[in-house]
């Protein structure tokens, strides 16, 4: 008999922006809800709210996303169905811009982890679309996650940022979730990219593709409108690896 899914939280995180973080979060959330089919929630923690804009069914701006953390609002009241069947969403808004300040004032290092734990009766997989940078919010994320997926562009600067994250986690005493670095926006025609892939041959890779750019036009995950495309297939394979890693814990 197959085991019932146990709540697991996957954080999509990067030290710097512009690496495809939201693309990863949306397509991994779609794969969870539509391929594996556990009860899935995408929680947008980035005040830029790109995931929310792409997938939200609610056109009103509520400016209440931060209130979840200060206990003014029950976390379940902000959950909405997304445009993807089987995938729920907690949308971001501009109130999250001061979330780091709120976390410092509250001085509760596991506030996010406790909120996620409270959702364990309702969900099996929670995907976090995290804001970039090493901040108070990222501290909360690193404590709450069971797996940290880090998109890395095959370039020296992006790989250096990945190294900074790894050093930061080591400095915290090694008390963190496993890291899964993934090459993003890979163009194998470029020698710089080929060299990077050869240096880390075990890392998964998501190819650069104009199909990914169509996500913002169609406001849908790749699996909905281009399931046979190379990036959609790569994200499906990545999700399989994520699930395998979670089950191995």
As a three-state string, the secondary structure of 106-119 is HCCCCHHHHHHHHC
Q: Which CATH class is domain 8-247?
A: alpha beta
Q: What is the pLDDT of residues 201-245, one digit of tens each?
A: 899 999 999 999 999 999 999 999 999 999 999 999 999 999 999
The closest alpha carbon to 25, from 63, 61, 55, 66, belongs to 55
CA distances from residue 61 to 15, 57, 70, 77, 154 in whole angstroms, order as listed: 27, 11, 19, 14, 36
The answer to whether 167 and 144 have CB atoms below 8 angstroms apart is no
Q: What is the mean pLDDT of residues 94-100?
A: 89
Q: How many C-alpha atoms does 208 have within 13 Å on its Cβ side?
A: 11
Q: What is the pLDDT of residues 111-168, one digit of tens each?
A: 999 999 999 999 999 999 999 888 888 889 988 999 999 999 998 777 777 778 777 7
Q: What is the pLDDT of residues 156-213, one digit of tens each?
A: 777 777 778 777 777 766 567 889 999 999 999 999 999 988 988 899 999 999 999 9
Instruction: Parse the chain into domains and list their residue ranges.
Output: 8-247
- Cα separation of 121 and 66, whole Å? 22
pLDDT band at 2 (very low <50, low <70, confident <90, very high): very low
């Amino acid at each position: 008999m197959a085991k019932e899914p146990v709540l697991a939280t996957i954080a999509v995180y990067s030290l710097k922006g512009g690496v495809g973080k939201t693309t990863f979060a949306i397509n991994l959330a779609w794969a969870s809800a539509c391929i594996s089919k556990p009860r899935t929630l995408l929680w947008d923690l980035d005040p830029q709210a790109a995931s929310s804009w792409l997938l939200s069914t609610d056109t009103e701006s509520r400016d209440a996303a931060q209130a979840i953390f200060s206990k003014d609002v029950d976390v379940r009241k902000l959950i909405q169905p997304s445009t993807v069947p089987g995938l729920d969403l907690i949308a971001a808004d501009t109130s999250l811009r001061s979330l780091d300040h709120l976390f410092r004032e509250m001085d509760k290092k596991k506030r996010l982890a406790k909120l996620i734990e409270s959702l364990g009766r309702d969900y099996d997989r929670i995907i976090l679309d995290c804001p970039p940078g090493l901040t108070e919010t990222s501290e909360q994320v690193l404590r709450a996650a069971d797996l940290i997926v880090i998109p890395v562009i095959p370039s020296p600067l992006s790989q250096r940022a990945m190294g900074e994250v790894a050093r930061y986690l080591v400095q915290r005493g090694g008390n963190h979730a496993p890291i899964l670095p993934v090459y993003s926006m890979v163009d194998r025609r470029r020698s710089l990219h080929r060299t990077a892939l050869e240096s880390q041959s075990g890392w998964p890779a998501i190819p650069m593709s104009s199909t990914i750019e169509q996500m913002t036009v169609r406001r849908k995950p790749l699996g909905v409108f281009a399931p046979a495309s190379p990036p959609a297939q790569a994200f499906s394979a990545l999700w399989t690896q994520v699930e395998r890693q979670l089950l191995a814990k």
